[in-house]
Amino acid sequence: MGIDFFKRTSYQISKLITRKYSTSFSLSVSLLDNAERDAIYGIYGFVRLADEIVDTFDASFDRKYLLDKLREDAQYAILHGISANPIILSFADTVNKYKIDWSYIDAFLRSMDYDLVKTDYSTREELTDYIYGSAEVVGLMCLKVFCKGDETLYDQLFKYARSLGSAFQKVNFLRDISSDTNELGRIYFPELTQSHLNEEVKSILIRSIEQDFAHAKIGIDRLPGNAKIAVLLAYRYYLSLLEKLRKTPADQILHRRIRISDTKKMLILSKVIISNKLKIA
C-alpha cells in the first residue's frame, strides 16, 4: 500500500485522538477545509501526546525519558520524513508541508519539561514564558497552516495569534485550578502563590484574559477562508466558558471543574454559522 497510505492512516489516528479528547476543538476543526483540517489534527495529536506524558502518565513511569524520546523522534521524523509512530508522522508531515519552525516545537517541549519539575510560577515573567511555549506557539503553528505560505499575512497576524493562545491557556488554568492544585500540585498564576483564589483575585485574572481576547479578536477578523469561522467558534466557546467562570463563586471553582454543556456548545456553533452567513460575526 505504500507510505502514502500509512500517512493517510496516521492523520486519521490524529483525528481520532482529537475527537476523543476535545469535543469543542473538534467542532471548530470540522469547519476547516480538508487539507487544513488534517494539518490541525496532526498538530493537536502531537501536542496531546506530550501533554499526556506530563499530566496523565503515572509518576512510576520515566516521564522525562518519554518526553526526551518524543523530542528525539519528532526531530528525526521532521528531518527524514518518516516515523513508525503515526501521531509523530502526521505532525512531522504537517511541519514540513507548512514550514513550521523548529523553535516553536522546541519552546512547546520546553514548557512540557517545566511541568515535570516546576510546581509554581511566582513571577509574571515565568508565567509568560510558560504560556508562550505551552499555548502561544501552538496557535502560531496553526496560523502557519491557515496562512498557507503567505508570510506577509502571517507576520500581520502573529501578535494576535499569541494573544488568543494566551487567553485560551489562562481560561484553562482558571477552569482547572482544582485538579492542577490538588492532583498535580501546580500553581500557574503568580497571584495564587501569595493568596488563595477569592473573588478579588478572580476578577484580576478575568480582566487579564479579557484583554487578551479583545486583542485576539482583531486578528480573528482578518483570518482567510474558513479559518476565520473555525477560530471564531473556538473563541466564542472560550468566551462562554469565561463568562460561566465569572458567574461561578471562587470557592466552587476551587473544588470542581467548570464545563460548558454539549447543548450550549451546539447553540454556540449554530450562532457562529448563522452570523457568518449573514456577515455579522
pLDDT tens for residues 195-225? 689 999 999 999 999 999 999 999 999 999 9
Please check the confidence at residue 281 and state whether its pLDDT lies above 60.
no
pLDDT digits (tens, 9 = 90+) for 76-87: 999 999 999 999
d(CA 63, CA 2): 33
pLDDT grade for 194, boundaries at 50, 70 and 90? low
Read out DSSP for 190-204?
GGGTSS---HHHHHH
C-alpha cell at 19: 475527537
As a dihedral over the C-alpha atoms of residue 53, residue 65, residue 94, residue 96, rounded to 10 degrees, the angle is 160
pLDDT at 278 over 50: yes
DSSP type of residue 187: B
Whole-number pLDDT of residue 239:
96
pLDDT band with cut points at 50, 70 and 90 for residue 93 = very high
Please report the pLDDT score of residue 279 as a whole number. Answer: 62
Residues in contact with 5: Cβ distance below 8 Å, sequence separation at least 6, in sequence order: none
For 50-64, how does the pLDDT look when each residue is reduced to its tens digit (9 = 90+)?
Answer: 999 999 998 899 999
Mean pLDDT computed over 136-144: 98
Segments making up each domain of the chain, as ranges: 2-277
- Is the pLDDT reported for residue 35 higher than 50? yes
Q: Was domain 2-277 assigned CATH 1.10.600.10?
A: yes
Contact criterion met (CB below 8 Å) for 92 and 77: yes
- Residue pair 160/218 in contact by the 8 Å Cβ criterion: yes
DSSP code string of 118-136 = --B--SHHHHHHHHIIIII
Name the average pLDDT for the chain.
Answer: 93
